[in-house]
Amino acid sequence: MINLILIVSFLFIGIAQPAIGIAQPASVWTLSGAIYSGEDPYEGATVKLTNAATQVDIDTTTSDINGLYSFSALVDGTYNLTINAAGHEELIVNDIAVSGADVIQNVVLITTSVTTTISGTVRTFDGLPVDNIEIEVRLYTYGSGDDEAYSLTDVNGEYSITVNSDINAEYDVDLRGGNYAQGEVFPTSITIPTYVSKSLGNITADGSDIVINAVLPEVVTLSGRTTDSDGVAVGNVSIWAYGSSDGFSGQSYDTSTADGSYSLPLFPSANSTVHITPPAGSGFVEIEIDPFDISISSLINFILVKPDTECPVITEYPVTTVSSQGAAMRWRTDELASNIIEYGLGADQLTGIKSRPKLTRRHILRLTGLESDTTYFFRIVSTDAAGNSCGSQVLDFTTDSAT
C-alpha cells in the first residue's frame, strides 16, 4: 500500500511541471510622444531612453518633422527620458511608469538665450560708403529678448548690432537716415534726401551671425524758384517732396531763399508728391501736386497764386440762332468755365437745364425739342475751377413758325 501511494504522487508531480526550454510569453508596450519648442513641434531633438531602476541606457532616437518620437517593445517598468535640442536646456523626465498599456509622454523644451550679431554695409548705387545711417533691430514680440538695438554706420558704411534673445526670436531690421521728425539729425558725408528709410526685412535670431547689406538708389535733384504769377521771387516758401525707389522712401525739405531758389535731393520716382507752403500772411494758396514725376533731375519753377474769389465774366453776350424746334447759344467768358443754360416758358419758370461741364472760354449749347412759334426765357450760369459761379440776366428768344 505504501509503495502505491508513492508512485501515484510522483506521477502527479511530474505532470504539473512545465516543459524545460519553452519560454513564457511577455506583454510589451510603446512609449511615445511629441517634442515641442513653445507651441511648435521640434524636429531633430535627441531622445534617450533609460531604465530608471538599473540606469542602463536602452535606446536613442530623434524627433521627426512633426516632433514625434517612439520607443517600442518595452516591458512593464519605470523609465527615464533625456532630451537634448539645440538652443534649449537639457530636459530629463524621470520615473515614467509603463504598466499594462502604451504610454504617451509629450515634452515642452525650455529655450536658452542666444546671442546674435547683425552686421553689414550701406553704400550708394555707385559703391561709395554712407556714414551715419542708423540701422534699427526691433523685436517682433516683446519680452523674449532685447526689445530694440541701434547702430550708426561708420565712415566705411559698416554697422554691427548684437542682440540677446530666446532662440528663434524674430526681429524687424529697418534702415533710417537723415533728419528725423523728432529732431535727431545724422548728417552724412554724401548728398541724400533729408530723411530716408527702408525695411531691410525680418530675421530669426538663432545664435548665428547675420549679414544684411543695403544699397541706396541714385539721387536726383529737384530745384528751381518760387515766384508769383508775374515772375517776382517769393522767398521763405517751404517745399516738401516725397518719393520712393527700390523699396527706399526719401523725403526732402527746403525753404526758398530771398530770390526764390530751392533745391531738394530725392530718390527718383514717377509718383512723387510735392507740397508747397507759402509764408504766413502772404495770401498765396498752398499747393500739392500728386503724382509728380521726378524720375530725373529737374529744374521746376513753382508759381504761387492767390485764392480765386471772382466768378467768370461773360465778355460776349449770347448770340442766339433759332429754328422752329431748337436754338443755339454762343458766348465767351474771361476765364475757363463750365456752362449751364436754364430755360423755360416764363422768366420765373426756368425748369429746363442744358449743361456742358468742360472748362472753356468759348461756349456753345444747343436746345432741342422746342415748340415752334413760342417764346422761351433763359439765363446762362458759368462756374470756374475754383467753384465761383455767376449767372447772366434772364433773356428770351422766340422759335420760328413751323413751315
CATH number of 314-398: 2.60.40.10
Q: What is the DSSP letter of 373?
A: T
Give me the residue spans of the domains in the chain. Answer: 29-109, 113-215, 220-304, 314-398
- The cell numbers describing 265, all together, are 535731393
Q: Is the pLDDT of residue 21 over 90?
A: no
What pLDDT score was predicted for residue 1?
A: 35
Burial environment of residue 174 by CB neighbours within 10 A (0 to 12, 13 to 18, 19 or more): middle
Residue 3 confidence (pLDDT) above 50: no
29-109 shares its CATH topology with 314-398: yes
Closest CA to 261 of 229, 288, 299, 306: 299
Q: Cell numbers of 263, please?
A: 533745391
316: phi then psi, degrees, rounded to nearest 5: -130, 115
Confidence of residue 5 (pLDDT cuts 50, 70, 90): very low
**Distance between CA atoms of 148 and 114, rounded to whole angstroms?**
15
Return the bridge partners of 196, or none. 177, 250
Q: Could you give the CA distance from residue 36 to residue 88 in angstroms, rounded to a whole number?
A: 11
Give phi and psi for 306, each to the nearest 5: -95, 160
- Please answer whether residues 311 and 390 qualify as being in contact, where contact means their C-beta atoms are separated by less than 8 angstroms: yes
Q: Determine the pLDDT at residue 207.
A: 78
Q: Considering the chain, what percentage of its residues have pLDDT values greater than 70?
A: 89
pLDDT reading at 403 higher than 90: no
Q: Is the pLDDT of residue 182 over 60?
A: no
Q: Which residues contact 58 (CB under 8 A, 6 or more apart)?
A: 49, 50, 51, 71, 74, 79
Let me know: does 329 contact 365? Beta carbons within 8 Å.
Answer: yes
Provide the 3-class DSSP secondary structure of residue 338.
strand
Contact 338, 381 (CB under 8 A): no
Question: What pLDDT, in 10s, does the model give residues 55-64?
Answer: 999 999 999 9
Query: For 26-57, how does the pLDDT look when each residue is reduced to its tens digit (9 = 90+)?
Result: 689 999 999 998 888 999 999 999 999 999 99
- Beta strands (DSSP E) in 246-385 are 248-255, 261-266, 269-277, 287-294, 298-299, 302-304, 314-322, 326-344, 352-368, 375-383
Out of 2.60.40.10, 1.10.10.10, 3.30.43.10, 1.10.3720.10, select the CATH number for domain 220-304: 2.60.40.10
- For residue 137 the three cell numbers come to 533691430
Q: Which fold has domain 29-109?
A: Immunoglobulin-like (2.60.40)
131-134: long-range contacts, CB 8 A cutoff, minimum separation 24: 131/155, 131/156, 131/157, 131/188, 131/189, 132/177, 132/186, 132/187, 132/188, 132/189, 133/157, 133/159, 133/175, 133/176, 133/177, 133/186, 133/188, 133/196, 133/214, 134/175, 134/176, 134/177, 134/186
Cell numbers standing for residue 125: 548705387
Question: Half-sphere exposure of residue 84, counting CA atoms within 13 Å on the CB side?
Answer: 5
Q: In Å, how far from its chain's centre is CA 79? A: 52
Per the CB < 8 A criterion, the answer to whether 48 and 60 are in contact is yes
Of 93, 125, 89, which is closest to residue 109 (Cα–Cα)? 89
Q: Is the pLDDT score of 10 beyond 80? A: no
Mean pLDDT of the chain: 86
Which one, of 205, 123, 116, 196, lies nearest residue 161 by Cα?
116
113-215 classified as CATH 2.60.40.10: yes
CA distances from 351 to 100, 270, 321, 343 (A): 97, 47, 21, 6
* DSSP type of residue 18: P
